Amino acid sequence: MKNGRPVVLIVEDSPMIRMSAVDLVLSAGYEALEAGDADEAIRILEARDDIDLVFTDVQMPGTMDGIKLSHYIRDRWPAVKLIVASGAAIVEESMLPGGSRFFPKPYDDLTITEAMAHLLSSERPHDRPN
């Protein structure tokens, strides 16, 4: 959390969809960070300690897809909340790390912002004193 606002990292290879997701996150009152693939997302996660939630697409170029990325994040940064979306793949939530949420594309903006609010309202790891 930065300046009292949750920080959401959006991982999406399509610039238009990523811009739309950034607008959605900003309109919900959160800070938005962007990554075009899993490798970039990991570099951002390694560089920052204030990311509360990762909102990722499943199908992306690079070394891993969104499902592998979500498991990697859960293993390395277990407190980070996860939302996974896909327009091509139907993903069973059992394929994702515990506590993750999956949404098919096109997703409803209100549904995503409600899921973010719900996930972020549960324990916030960055609210601890330094």
Give domain limits for the chain.
Answer: 7-121
Q: Which of 21-35, 51-65, 94-108 has the lowest mean pLDDT?
A: 94-108
Residue 67: the pLDDT is 94
- Max Cα distance, the chain (Å): 42
Burial class (CB in 10 A: 0-12, 13-18, 19+), 127: exposed
Count of other CB atoms within 10 angstroms of residue 56 = 26
Measured at the CA of 19, the angle between CA 14 and CA 21, to 5 degrees, comes to 95
CB 36 within 8 A of CB 13: yes
Backbone φ, ψ for residue 23 (5° rounding):
-60, -40
Q: For the chain, what is the mean pLDDT? A: 89
pLDDT in tens, 74-120: 999 999 999 999 887 677 778 899 889 999 888 899 999 999 999 99
CATH 3.40.50.261 fits 7-121, yes or no: no
